[in-house]
């Protein structure tokens, strides 16, 4: 390419052709004209198009010279370019009329440009132009670009044509493959004897491009966008009561308004959500607009919303608030009971309350002789607010079945925990004797008998028994007087020197893991 200021004399020819010319986009010389491309017009194939021609002064004339590649002999020259967009310093140019060549083929194009400042520029071999047959899609479109939910059917149609060089005739292409893409799937069609094709489909719920492809023909597209109609949702009921976590069926009807008449909407999406948008349940309406969406009873006081959507088929998004009156549930977990040597029952476990705030913190411990009936309250555990774990020790019989019972409230269902058994063999000191009066400085005798229930009361031989003294002036203190061992009949006896006024008692406290401790009555001894 070069820029000159000389006049060019080129033999005139009859016309310019349609085609595609690739041209470098770089400037030819400092201040010289530039262009983006030269091509045949996209639809008027017999015309030549110059894209984005720019110069430092007004373009006053455009001439195109076509010649065979490698041969400078011109076969056509055209000068009837007119400005089609932009201005003379930066614009697009097109020939006013079709120009016909004698033979099809590929031709090189030179451009001769004149500017208002007197400059004349020749763009030698600006590109090549293919003067060949070209296929194109004619009249492609849809019958209903804005369908409604009442009739979603859309028909796309068009015609495949071919433009011929030399004659510039436009003829239909028969039995050719055309691909129709409606945005959801592709359909493969064949043209008829007149080059025509047609196919109907159900429009997408969102705006979508419908495209047609036919080999080398430029693809064509048209947008299909639903026209939304007013919609509403009517619930059979919006207030529900039930236990936390159980299923509730939300039923109703979805409708749309067509010219003042409400009609059922099929395939509408129904969704139940929290106010924060968290999913809780869904359904799709049937041919009668009916739906049934299941959701779990939420935490007491939590609000849910039912939303209805159907893409752009609806002009609005119907919603309906849902009210739930939830009853919470409670349960006792990991409940255990262990009876200690001192006849105190240690119970522990967890109290769980779900679906509602815990109404109170009191948990009853009950006992039964057989684990089936005859339950009685043994004690109460009070949980710390906010804690679920409990542990406490309460006096209990030697053998029994135990359970934890939570009474609940109007807002939370109560619960009965699992039944566990805890037992030890009871021991008992009987016939415990100590003299009521003892002389000062004298000794006094202590005797008694140790028995255990196995299950009847029998002598408990060979077991330790401790004897203690509690002074009158310090009754809370105890001093060991001696350690005795029971005889074969469970009896024990010994003598001890008086320690002053006070109480004497015996205790069997070093039992094995299966027995309870035993303690005798306290007998007061008066020393005189």
For 284, half-sphere exposure in the C-beta direction (CA atoms, 13 angstrom radius) is 4
Residue 74 has pLDDT above 70, yes or no: yes
Residue 275: pLDDT above 60?
Answer: yes
pLDDT at residue 380 in the model? 96
The mean pLDDT value for 365-389 works out to 96
Residue 20: pLDDT over 70: no
Average pLDDT over residues 173-183: 96
pLDDT level of residue 225 (50, 70, 90 thresholds): very high
Answer yes or no: is pLDDT of 7 > 50.
no
- DSSP letter at 13 equals -
pLDDT tens digits for range 286-328: 999 999 999 999 999 999 999 999 999 999 999 999 999 999 9
**Residue with the two structure tokens 């350690």:** 483
The Cα–Cα gap between 199 and 142 comes to 10
Residues 388-442 pLDDT 10s: 999 999 999 999 999 999 999 999 999 999 999 999 999 999 999 999 999 999 9
Q: What is the mean pLDDT of residues 142-154?
A: 97
Do 231-327 and 427-527 come out as alike in CATH topology?
yes
Rounded mean pLDDT of 443-457? 96
- Select from 422, 428, 430, 448 the least CA-distant residue to 513: 422
d(C-alpha 32, C-alpha 178), whole Å: 45
Q: Which of 3-17, 139-153, 294-308 has the lowest mean pLDDT?
A: 3-17
Burial grade of 12 (CB within 10 A; 0-12, 13-18, 19 or more): exposed
Q: Is 25 exposed, middle or buried (0-12, 13-18, 19+ CB in 10 A)?
A: exposed
CATH fit for domain 329-423, picks 3.30.590.10, 3.10.20.30, 1.10.3720.10, 2.60.40.730: 2.60.40.730
Residues 6+ apart with CB under 8 A from 232: 254, 255, 256, 257, 262, 318
User: If you search the block for the tokens 């031989």, which residue do you land on?
Assistant: 461
* Dist. CA 450–CA 435, nearest whole Å: 19
Q: Is the confidence at residue 217, as pLDDT, over 90?
A: yes
Per-residue pLDDT, averaged over 480-509, amounts to 96
Strand 186-190 vs strand 177-181: parallel, antiparallel, or unpaired? antiparallel
| Confidence band for 513, pLDDT divided at 50, 70 and 90 | confident
* Stretch 69-87: mean pLDDT: 93
Architecture of domain 427-527: Sandwich (2.60)
CB-CB neighbours of 239 under 10 Å: 9
CA distances from 275 to 231, 280, 307, 321 (A): 21, 11, 11, 10
Q: What is the mean pLDDT of residues 150-168?
A: 96
Q: How confident is the model at residue 38 (pLDDT cuts 50, 70, 90)?
A: confident
Instruction: Look up the CATH architecture of domain 20-131.
Output: Sandwich (2.60)
Q: Is the pLDDT of residue 31 over 60?
A: no
Delimit the domains of the chain by residue range.
Answer: 20-131, 134-224, 231-327, 329-423, 427-527
- ω into 66 cis (within 30 of 0): no
- The CATH number fitting domain 231-327, selected from 2.40.50.140, 2.60.120.10, 2.60.40.10, 3.30.43.10: 2.60.40.10
Question: Does the structure show a pLDDT above 60 at 115?
Answer: yes
pLDDT average, residue stretch 475-484: 95
Confidence of residue 230 (pLDDT cuts 50, 70, 90): very high
pLDDT, residue 16, reads 35
Fold topology of 134-224 = Immunoglobulin-like (2.60.40)
Residue 28 has pLDDT above 90, yes or no: no
Question: Does position 144 have pLDDT exceeding 50, yes or no?
Answer: yes
CA distance 283 to 269: 6
Q: Is the pLDDT of residue 193 over 60?
A: yes
* Confidence check: pLDDT of 11 > 50: no
């Amino acid at each position: 390419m070069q820029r000159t200021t000389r006049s060019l004399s080129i033999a005139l020819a009859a016309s310019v052709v349609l085609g595609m010319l690739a041209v470098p986009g770089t400037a030819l010389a400092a201040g010289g004209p530039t262009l983006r491309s030269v091509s045949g017009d996209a639809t008027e194939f017999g015309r030549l198009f110059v894209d984005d021609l720019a110069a430092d002064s007004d373009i006053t004339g455009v001439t195109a010279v076509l010649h065979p590649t490698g041969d400078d002999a011109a076969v056509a020259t055209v000068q009837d370019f007119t400005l089609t967009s932009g201005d003379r310093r930066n614009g697009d140019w097109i020939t006013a009329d079709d120009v016909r060549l004698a033979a099809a083929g590929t031709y090189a194009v030179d451009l001769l440009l004149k500017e208002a400042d007197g400059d004349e520029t020749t763009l030698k071999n600006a590109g090549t132009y293919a003067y060949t047959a070209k296929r194109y899609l004619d009249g492609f479109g849809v019958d209903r670009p804005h369908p409604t939910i009442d009739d979603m059917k859309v028909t796309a149609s068009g015609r495949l044509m071919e433009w011929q060089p030399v004659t510039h005739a436009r003829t239909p292409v028969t039995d050719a493959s055309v691909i129709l893409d409606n945005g959801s799937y592709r359909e493969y069609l064949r043209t008829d004897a007149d080059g025509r094709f047609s196919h109907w489909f159900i429009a997408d719920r969102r705006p979508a491009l419908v495209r047609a492809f036919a080999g080398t023909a430029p693809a064509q597209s048209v947008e299909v966008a639903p026209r939304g109609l007013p919609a509403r949702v009517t619930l059979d009921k919006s207030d529900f009561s039930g236990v936390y976590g159980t299923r509730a069926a939300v039923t109703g009807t979805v409708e749309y308004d067509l010219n003042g008449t409400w009609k059922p909407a099929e395939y509408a999406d129904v969704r139940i959500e929290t106010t924060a948008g968290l999913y809780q349940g869904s359904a799709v309406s049937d041919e009668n607009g009916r739906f049934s969406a299941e959701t779990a009873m939420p935490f007491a006081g939590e609000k849910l919303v039912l939303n209805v959507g159907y893409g752009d088929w609806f002009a609005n998004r119907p919603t309906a608030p849902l009210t739930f009156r939830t009853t919470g549930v409670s349960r006792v977990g990991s409940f255990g009971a262990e009876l200690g040597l001192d006849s105190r029952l240690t119970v522990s476990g967890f109290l769980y309350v779900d679906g509602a705030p815990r109404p109170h913190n009191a948990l009853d411990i009950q006992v039964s002789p057989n684990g089936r009936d005859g339950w009685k309250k043994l004690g109460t555990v009070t949980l710390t607010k906010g804690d679920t774990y409990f542990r406490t020790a309460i006096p209990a019989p030697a053998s029994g079945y135990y359970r934890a019972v939570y009474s609940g409230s109007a807002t939370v269902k109560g619960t009965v925990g699992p039944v566990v058994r805890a037992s030890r063999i009871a021991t008992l000191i009987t016939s415990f004797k100590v003299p009521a009066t003892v002389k000062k400085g004298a000794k006094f005798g202590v005797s008694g008998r140790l028995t255990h229930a196995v299950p009847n009361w029998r002598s408990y031989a060979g077991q330790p028994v401790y004897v203690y003294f509690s002074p009158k002036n310090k009754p809370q203190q105890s001093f060991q007087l001696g350690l005795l061992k029971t005889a074969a009949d469970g009896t024990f006896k010994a003598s001890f020197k008086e320690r002053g006024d006070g109480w004497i008692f015996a205790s069997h406290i070093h039992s094995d893991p299966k027995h309870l401790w035993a303690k005798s009555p306290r007998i007061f001894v008066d020393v005189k």
